Structure 1
Amino acid sequence: MAVFDSNGTEIYYEDIGEGPALLLLHGLTSNHAMFYREIDFFKKNYRIIAPDARGHGNSAKSDSYSLEDHIQDAVALLRHLELESVGIIGVSMGSYTAQGVAIEEPDRVKKLLLVATKSHGVQSSTAELFAKHKEELSGLNPIDKMNKASKYIFHNRRAVGKWLKKTADNSNQLTINEQEIAAQALKGFDFREQLRKVTAETLVISGRHDGLNPPEKGRETAFLIPNATFMEFKRSGHAPNVEQARLFLGIAENFLED
């Protein structure tokens, strides 16, 4: 267990393995434990840095924070560890944070792998999906609402269910109120005018069946980043790294190699 102070907020992170630094940035309401498969796979050849974003996991909770806070926490962690060169894998919310870090630290970020991403949003993708299916989801409590909406989010729901259970069994889960605060942090961000500053070699991966961040949003992100490559996983939704795990790890390994 390791923690550091980011502008008065205690941020928890895992620091595992040896080799080139690889920063793993998790999705909304999750934590570093969601990367158990990636950590086990990459720790043999990489130094894995996997933080819990503020308001998530073992990091400090507060009544409000923003995506910019997540970005500055990640930048502060890289500086705290004195990492001059790093690769980043960011999934969903983590991919937004990753974009911000790559924009702010172009000389430090060498490889950028964005999964289930978008470059801008008025509100969280979950809130947008709930609004789209408002009538169908009306009257449901938050847990039942998410369960019913999962058919629009994931393609291989069996694999995702096992992954979510294992992640939950190995980490602290957020309360409903903490989840709402986390979602509020993603309102109104837009990197479109800044992505041209990214110099990292970039790969964007989207799932064909992703109802939260559809492939067209991933394509747009890739188009805006100089020389980025876009890839669509045909049998995935919002979690390509889980729904087609072996394919993802193989592609990620190849991409991250120098």
Structure 2
Amino acid sequence: MNIVISEKDTAIYYELSGRGYPLVLLHGQYMNSTMFDTFDQEFGEDYQLIKIDLRGHGYSDKPLHINLDDYISDVLSVLDELYVKKAHFLGYGLGGMVAQAIAIRYPHLVQRLVLVSVGNEPFNDSEERFHLEFANLLRTMKQKDQDKLLAQYMYHDRKTVERWKRRLKDTETTMTNLERKAVNYSTEDVDLLSQSHLISAPALVVSGEHDHIIRPDHGRTLSEKIPNATYMLFENSGHAPMIEEKDRFVQNVKIFLAPELDI
């Protein structure tokens, strides 16, 4: 196992695959680095894939207090360990927020930035609004039925997403309530939108048209704040456009990342 010690003596797990220019892959909330295993073949021929389990997730330590600075330190610790001075970053959900924050604070580290299902507010706020929208129905349902209902409004191609999720390593069900709470509140009151004009790297912001959590207009708003950003709407996707329309996603990300060394 590849382990590095980050801030507050926290062990961070990461994986390496592929070869070429470094591409850092940052997972979503309550997910882990295995969510990107499906892209090893597509991107591994041209890029060194650096997949990191942020603290509170995957095989990394799960402290009871986490904030955005902690996540950032996790990524920087891995990059220091690997002597990576500049890289492309691709982040999904929570990972997108972390990548966005790094692009704001450490612009010299980011060559190009891909943000998938990232909006103009913390995920927790979006999720709470999403749940309130269906509160009358959810309060009478069992948890399993709640999950099925919400999935209808999160994803467009639910069968494809379910197959993908079944292939992921399950590192969530063993979490304690306090560990989950730490992740839940890790981005509370974080405002990255007001600082997004500081991002100097070219950025690609991807949204799914049928995503009721991170609505497409939130992704578009974010893209308008980043000076050199391109917005892309996936019409046949929900919250997981990189899986629901994988071929289109891979093609467009490859095109976006193609000028690898345009320093």
TM-score range, shorter chain: over 0.9
1:33–1:171 contact (8 Å) kept in structure 2: no
Instruction: Give the superposition deviation at 1:139.
Output: 4.2
Deviation readout 1:65-121 (Å, 9 max, x if unpaired): 123321221123222322111001101111111101111110110110000111323
Cα distance in 2 for residues equivalent to 1:48 and 1:124: 31
Q: For residues 1-258 of structure 1, what are the structure 2 equivalents within 5 Å?
A: 1-7=1-7, 8-121=9-122, 123-167=124-168, 170-174=169-173, 175=175, 177=177, 178-258=179-259
Residues 58, 143 of structure 1: CA spacing in aligned structure 2 closer, same or farther, 3 A cutoff? farther
Residues 162, 121 of structure 1: CA spacing in aligned structure 2 closer, same or farther, 3 A cutoff? same
Residues 96, 35 of structure 1: CA spacing in aligned structure 2 closer, same or farther, 3 A cutoff? same
Shifted more, 215-224 versus 188-197: the winner is: 188-197
Q: What residue ranges of structure 1 are gaps of 5+ in the alignment?
A: none
TM-score (norm 1): 0.93
Cα distance in 1 for residues equivalent to 2:176 and 2:232: 34
Q: Secondary structure at the match of 1:111?
A: strand
Deviation readout 1:19-47 (Å, 9 max, x if unpaired): 10000000110000011112232111111
2:237–2:244 contact (8 Å) kept in structure 1: yes
The one-letter code of the counterpart of 1:218 is G
Cα distance in 2 for residues equivalent to 1:139 and 1:3: 44
2:4–2:77 contact (8 Å) kept in structure 1: no
Cα distance in 2 for residues equivalent to 1:143 and 1:130: 15
Shifted more, 117-126 versus 34-43: the winner is: 117-126
Instruction: Give the superposition deviation at 1:176.
Output: 6.4
Instruction: Give the superposition deviation at 1:147.
Output: 2.5
Q: Secondary structure at the match of 1:16?
A: strand
The one-letter code of the counterpart of 1:53 is L
2:154–2:212 contact (8 Å) kept in structure 1: yes
Q: Secondary structure at the match of 2:25?
A: strand
Residues 165, 176 of structure 1: CA spacing in aligned structure 2 closer, same or farther, 3 A cutoff? farther
Q: What residue ranges of structure 2 are gaps of 5+ in the alignment?
A: none
Instruction: Give the superposition deviation at 1:171.
Output: 4.3
Cα distance in 1 for residues equivalent to 2:218 and 2:176: 28
Cα distance in 2 for residues equivalent to 1:29 and 1:125: 15
Residues 211, 45 of structure 1: CA spacing in aligned structure 2 closer, same or farther, 3 A cutoff? same
The one-letter code of the counterpart of 1:2 is N
Shifted more, 196-205 versus 79-88: the winner is: 79-88
2:155–2:239 contact (8 Å) kept in structure 1: yes
The one-letter code of the counterpart of 1:172 is T
The one-letter code of the counterpart of 1:248 is F
Q: CA RMSD in A?
A: 1.6
Residues 230, 2 of structure 1: CA spacing in aligned structure 2 closer, same or farther, 3 A cutoff? same
Instruction: Give the superposition deviation at 1:141.
Output: 4.9
